[in-house]
């Protein structure tokens, strides 16, 4: 059981974070985030 985890984090986000490996990155952005500024592969 996880304690102290904010209820703002959805179960889906927690599952993705759990599956991430070393060197993986995640971007938390709003709908107007210019993804092309992160490079060709987004």
Q: Please confirm, yes or no, whether 32 is among the known catalytic residues.
A: no
Q: Are 18 and 12 in contact (CB under 8 A)?
A: no
DSSP code string of the chain = ---S--TTS-HHHHHHHHH--TT-------TT--GGGG-S--
> Catalytic: which of 3, 22, 32, 40?
22
Active site (catalytic) residues: 22
């Amino acid at each position: 059981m996880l304690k102290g985890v904010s209820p703002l984090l959805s179960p889906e986000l927690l599952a993705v974070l759990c599956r991430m490996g070393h060197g993986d990155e995640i971007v938390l952005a709003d709908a107007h985030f210019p993804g092309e500024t992160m490079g060709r592969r987004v």
